[in-house]
Amino acid sequence: MQKKYADLLKTKCCKKSYEKLTALNNAGLFEFVRKYTELCNPDSVYVCDDSDQDREYIGNRALENAEERKLAIDGHTIHFDGYNDLARDKTSTKYLLPQGADLGDALNATDKETGLEEIHRYLKNIMAGKEMYVLFFSLGPTNSEFSISAVQITDSSYVAHSEYILYRRGYEQFKKIGNSKSFFRYVHSAGVLENGVSKNVDKRRVYVDLEDNIVYTVNTQYAGNTVGLKKLSLRLAIRKASQEGWLAEHMLIMGVHGLLRERITYFTGAFPSACGKTSTSMLKGESIVGDDLAYLRKKEGKIYAANVECGIFGIIQDVNPKDDPAIWKSLTSPGEVIFSNVLVTEKGVPYWLGDGREVPEKGSNYSGEWQKGKKDSQGNEITYSHKNARYTVSLYGLKNVDCQLDNPEGVWIKGIIYGGRDSSIWPPVQEAFNWTHGVITFGASLESETTAATLGKEGVRQFNPMSNLDFVSIPLGKYVAHHLKFIEGVPVPPTIFAVNYFQKTKTGKYLTAMEDKRVWVKWMELRVNHDVDAVKIPTGYIPRYADLKKLFREVLRKDYSEGEYAEQFTVKIKGNLEKIERIAEIYKTKITDAPDTLFKVLKEQKARLEESRAKYGDNVVPTVFL
């Protein structure tokens, strides 16, 4: 039987590819590749190692297959997804659970046996006439306790090319795990292509098998659905982390540089898509370790974090030279960049929403040939660039990349930030009373108004604990309890903060400018290093006006008035109380295993808010708490 499998792979692989595969000496890997080679039935199988030659081969194939095309600037390419395949598909993304397993009503799951039968039916002969790519990567720095080995099978050279930019090469690391079964696996096919995009989007499926650490994704090209090592891996990692006592989170990692003295303080931060996560990690004057995914571990009484990735798959809307100078330089200079779903002119120049340039009259975009005024079949005007258009770049090419990016030990985390899109309740920045208070009232109670990064209506306030709801792969109550327990043995855990860049007046005007987040971050750096005091309010601590006035002058060279401070930091008692009721109801009715501590902390916060309401009314200016 083994000879039969070997004969199959010898037939599909060239001699060199077959030797690369067998050199890993891992029976589980060999069987995985054999099984899906037989099922998907590609014309050939190309196995990649860590060589530059294989990386170059994948990049060239993306051009030859017309999944990407060259742009005017050297190294830049454009990829288009299908018109109905432009965001993560949460409805079709499901966990495959065996009989008796239950993740709770809040998470999308289906019967494993039924799901596997369906996905295998879709995968049957799906790669006929195509080339299958087998690639190896490391989640986290290589040769580190943060490392998780991963293998990707795909027929999309675009997906493979994206992963080469976003992840560290892991073939040599795979050799070191020997015959271990402890690695993540991904199977992807774009399916039948029509005009270069997935045709059968109605049969798009993204299934996650937690038992066997396998992700299946089919009939889709959009990277959020297909790049296995990104959010799909996060689902596998969260379960693994809960079993082993660490955290896998939807978090940036950044180094904040002190104003008072030469120091770098590291923060992580969790924000839903399009809520400022990447722009925060890329703030002027700071250094980026990562913009999206982080693993956190305890070592010697401290919390350390490492970036799962080494690149950025970022939302490009509103990236401009004034607000995002480092990214702008990367996107307009020679070097490897994949643009997706932006407008491209005949001269090969990309344009996107909010870039500050005059919009061309015509070009090519995600809808095909485009000109001003073009409408879709429902009569809706088609924007020249999609709201969820993206760029894929390597971190190594950014001038503000932190020198600790590949440190196998990770970086010491002194602060954790939770942020969302909130037009009315949260102030621009606040600090939790302690770890438990922060996990529950900032993290586990996180709400955010929806954006174009996921399918569905925009502007709807959605519950999104730790900005991770779409990716949590254990019961939510257990997930919250795991966070509460995580800092056992850590004498001084990281300080937890909440930020909100999207406060609005009743007329819809934003109360803060985009660059103001530079001030909020500098204040948090001062707080975790015990350099400034704060004002205690019912929901935590907020900055003193004098400290912010000084920071606005030092960081942004602009004045900050007492009126601005009062408007931004007024405590909205009614809104906060309504939020507590919403959150408590969710945990009571939809999350049956929520820890008792959660309800206790919410009850205590409610009591503080009601006490303030009795004294001062519904809207309380911060000066009354001095």
Residues 476, 107: Cα–Cα separation, whole Å: 8
Count of alpha carbons within 13 Å of 594, Cβ hemisphere only? 23
Beta-carbon contacts of 495 under 8 Å, excluding residues fewer than 6 positions away, are 414, 415, 416, 431, 432, 438, 524, 527, 528
Structure tokens at 586: 């969710």
Whether 55 has a binding-site annotation, put simply, is no
Q: Is 223 annotated as a binding-site member?
A: yes
**Other beta carbons less than 10 A from residue 212's beta carbon:** 15
- Does 46 show up as a binding residue in the annotation? no
278 is in an annotated binding site: yes
For residue 6, say whether it is annotated as part of any ligand binding site.
no
276 is in an annotated binding site: yes
The verdict on whether residue 82 carries a ligand-binding annotation is: no
Catalytic residue (one of 13, 275, 310, 403): 275
For residue 101, say whether it is annotated as part of any ligand binding site.
no
| Longest CA–CA separation in the chain, Å | 81
Instruction: Say how far apart CA 468 and CA 270 lie, in whole Å.
Output: 8
Element (H, E) at 481: helix 476-486
Per the annotation, does 222 bind a ligand? yes
224 is in an annotated binding site: yes
> Binding site annotation covers 434?
no
Angle between helices 596-616 and 573-589 (to 10 degrees): 160
Other beta carbons within 10 angstroms of residue 237's beta carbon come to 25
Q: Tell whether 279 is in a known binding site.
A: yes
DSSP letter string, 473-513: -S-HHHHHHHHHHHTTT-SSPPEEEEE-S--B-TTS-BSS-
| Integer angstrom CA distances of residue 31 from 16, 37, 183 | 18, 10, 13
Q: 460 near 93, Cβ under 8 Å? A: no
> Distance between alpha carbon 302 and the CA centroid of its chain, in Å?
24
Q: Binding site annotation covers 464? A: no
Our answer to whether residue 275 is catalytic in this structure is: yes
618 is in an annotated binding site: no
Residue 410 CA to residue 393 CA, distance in Å, equals 22
Mind telling me the catalytic residues? 275
User: Residues comprising the binding site for GTP?
Assistant: 274-279, 390, 421
User: Residues comprising the binding site?
Assistant: 88, 222-224, 231, 250, 273-279, 292, 388-390, 421
User: Residues comprising the binding site for Mn(2+)?
Assistant: 231, 250, 292
User: Residues comprising the binding site for substrate?
Assistant: 88, 222-224, 273, 388-390
